[in-house]
Structure 1
Amino acid sequence: MPISPSSPSVVLSAAVMSHPDRRACAQRVLDALALPGAALALDPDPDGPPSSLRSSQVAFSLAGAAESTHHLVLQDDVRLSDDFLESVRSAVESHPDAALALFVEWGSRTACLARWAVFAGAGAVPVINPYMPTLGMVLPRELAVEMGAFMQGADGRSDDRAALAFLRGRGIRTLATVPNLVEHRELASLKGNGEHGARHAVCFAREGARFGAEVLEVPPLLPFLRWNTGTAVAVDPADDVPESHRPLLEVLVEWGATEPELRREFREGGFPGAVGEIAADGASAGEGADPLFDTWLTAVACGAVQERHWPGTVAWLRDRWDEPWVVRALGTFAPGALRLFADTERLVARAEESAPAVLAAMEYGTRFEGVGPPARPAGKPVVPHGPRP
């Protein structure tokens, strides 16, 4: 297998996991990958119940026959960035011992961190989802072989939860690259979770990326929109169970806001018009929830926390409007949060319009004091030295 002269220490092997009925989709990914020795990993029990575990087990086990340092596994419904292999090698060089996810779903907990990483200049974030994103993942070769064996005995239908259990059990650092190097195409799910709505990348680097070694520090509070109920909550990453989630409105009031003030700013600040009317299409929001207002509250709280931990970086975003990754990270905010409560295609089409509205909500949030001590000295915005377009 050829070794890139720019990355002599990283030699990749790869597999594309799929179902025999979707072999053509997997072959398209394999052709785009253009990596000698890369192989298809087809479900060995195609008539069994929907599950990504079986093809995942094959995909990771293929590392055993490879002469590589790291093994890459892709699912058959991905789109790759330009300059993909060099981008992956760059990420692996920066974090050679970690399990690296190349995708972060736009409405997930880890997406909160990924946007802050884009804004603050980090090239990776810890995975804080209750699963490991497996749409695209790269591991040290020996670890991939072990994961293949683990998947063979795992229960359930989901390779992503099994992968996280395996990695956490072995104390392996789980990171996601920011920006993302794969995008999700809308095909039927291998594991039968199509009811989750459209799942796109939080910030897809279609032009490829190079990565630095800095990993974003996780703040003690995450503003999060529960995409399945349309309710905004504050999540403690160290105690992330539903019982510990707090209503985000309640938290913002503790930080100095008032509910009448927040509702007035929401109405008058242009967010509803920029994002669009809600069209639920049968999805039911949580009791008393207003998904559009709660999405705005989440953006406000994200601005508050960002200003507290990376002072000056919210105001600085207006000067960085020519950076495509900044606009993309802002533009996926509303679609990721509202995908079950609005026309996702329309929201994506209006991303350029919604991105300034999201930023305006974040700027409004900087007047409130977020939780925890600042991660940076006040008045010294971070100069991005991680990924750059």
Structure 2
Amino acid sequence: MTEVHVSSAVMTHPVRLTQAQDLAARLRLDGLALDPDPEGPPSALRTALVAWAAVDPEASHHLVVQDDVDAPAELMEIVGRAAVRFPDEALVFYTNWHARNGAAVRIAALAGACWVRAVPDEFTPSLGVCLPSGTAAGFREYARDSAERHDDELLSVFFRGRGRMSLLAVPNIVEHIGTSSINGHAAQGIRLAVCPTSATDAAPLLSRGRVLEEPGWIPYMRYGEGYIRLDGQERGADGGRGHHRWREALPATGLTEEMVREARAAHMPDGLAAEVARSFGRAFAEELWIHCLLLGRQAARAARRLGPSPDGVPADALDRMRHSAVATAGPAGLPPERRPEAGPDEVRTMAAFTWTAVRAGERLQGVSPGITPSRSGLSGR
């Protein structure tokens, strides 16, 4: 077994110093990494470099968390066990509930995987990241003269250059708190974990659960509309940062609009659809349902590749993880300015609605791109 010692730091700004001190004390973290130029232009990277330099000389790994998070008292124990299991990996313990990496986590959760490889064309969620000490030193060297101010963006560039993206913990044990942003992200609105999970459930899942290396193409939502990240998209001229609406991307997935229309006509519940539409509009309700239909389809394919869950992974914890990931799909898919409207009743309604789509997606079959599909395109009905 790899000998692991994890040192830690909280990156913070003087305006949040008390908050950071309380967090470090509660989680028994080693210390604070203060912005070295708090009056200068906003730069998360400037503070991150201080945090990644705070590695204990005897540490095999280093954990950096940001000051605007919450986490369980067991955080360091869970992180340490994960570092033992994956000693050479960059490990991420929080993933935003929106965009591509969040959708990759949802696919993994529904497939019964507890870790998933991050996509190469999106920022690395940096609210709670653990790196091997050598990797931390490599990132500091790589980033020290960069003009980039976003540490999450530069982490992804660094990982891409090394040929291996981070592993995202599917059960999230770190949660974002508040909506303010020193680094200019407040316009993104409420930003929460994609799959919030208790420490009791997360500990065995992260210690023994399966890893999804290739989720395939990934459906995701932004500003109330559905998109698809295609396999290999990062190799495009724009580095994969472009967004493809789901209708445009379908030909590359083996699905057709006809298949989607038939699934919607057969399985989208009128009553729940009307409830979601009353709160957020019919267009959003239909986009959300189709998005989750595609999530369910990709999760079913991933589950078949992964095979049975290993011994020692609690089935009830896996089930709670799946429900947690689906429950955030609705509010995360809303435009940022409308997320505050999703109260408990609206979230429950959207969750019930999205589960009907996920289950329909699990039965949605496709064909290899370029092959003419059959008339129905559905099986298992």
Point out the more displaced range, 39-48 or 233-242. 233-242
Residue 24 of structure 2 corresponds to which residue in structure 1?
30
1:277 matched residue in structure 2: 279
Range 180-189 or range 240-249, more displaced: 240-249
Q: Where in structure 2 are the equivalents of 1:60-139 lying within 5 Å?
A: 60-63=52-55, 65-128=56-119, 130-139=122-131
Letter in 1 for 2:24: L
Q: Provide the residue aligned with 2:287 in structure 1.
A: 294
Structure 2 SS opposite 1:62: coil
Deviation at 1:366, TM superposition (A): 3.2
Distance across 1 between alignment mates of 2:344 and 2:44? 28
How much has 1:257 moved relative to structure 2?
Answer: 2.2
TM (norm. structure 1) is 0.80
For the pair 1:305 / 2:320, whether they are aligned, the reply is no
Q: Compute the displacement of 1:269 (Å).
A: 5.3
Q: 1:126 to 1:24 in 2, by over 3 A?
A: same
> More deviation in 124-133 or 254-263?
254-263
Q: What CA distance in whole angstroms lies between the structure 2 residues aligned with 1:360 and 1:214?
A: 25
Q: Which amino acid aligns with 2:4?
A: V
Q: In the aligned structure 1, how far is the partner of 2:88 from the partner of 2:233?
A: 26
Go from structure 1 to structure 2 and tell me whether the alpha carbon gap of 1:141 and 1:371 turns closer, same or farther (over 3 Å shift).
farther
Q: Report if aligned partners of 2:255, 2:367 keep a CA contact under 8 Å in 1.
A: no
TM-score (normalised: structure 2): 0.81
The residue type paired with residue 115 of structure 2 is A
For 1:149, the equivalent position in structure 2 comes to: 141
Change (3 A) 1:55 1:322: closer
Query: 1:258 offset after TM fit, Å?
Result: 5.8
Read off the aligned partner of 2:197 and give its amino acid letter. Answer: A
| Residues 309-341 of structure 1: CA deviation (Å, up to 9, x unaligned) | 42599xxxxx96994322211110111111425
Q: 2:46 aligns with which of 54, 61, 64?
A: 54
Query: 2: CA distance between counterparts of 1:171 and 1:308?
Result: 25
**Bigger share in helix:** 2
Query: Cα deviation per residue 1:351-386 (whole Å; 9 max; x = unaligned)?
Result: 33332221111112234214669xxxxxxxxxxxxx
Q: Percent identity?
A: 30
* Residues 233/42 of structure 1: CA separation in 2 closer, same or farther (3 Å cut): same
**Other-structure match for 1:186:** 178
CA change 1:16–1:275 in 2 (3 A) is farther
Letter in 2 for 1:338: L
Contact 1:275 1:350 in 2 (8 A): no
Residues 260-298 of structure 1: CA deviation (Å, up to 9, x unaligned)? 87368546151341576128xxxxxxxxx9333211110
Does residue 221 (structure 1) correspond to residue 217 (structure 2)? The answer is: yes
Aligned-partner SS, 1:17:
strand
CA RMSD of aligned residues (A): 3.0
Identify the match of residue 362 of structure 2 among 366, 369, 378.
366
**Matched AA of 1:361:** A
Distance 1:187 1:242 in 2: 24
CA drift at 1:146:
2.6
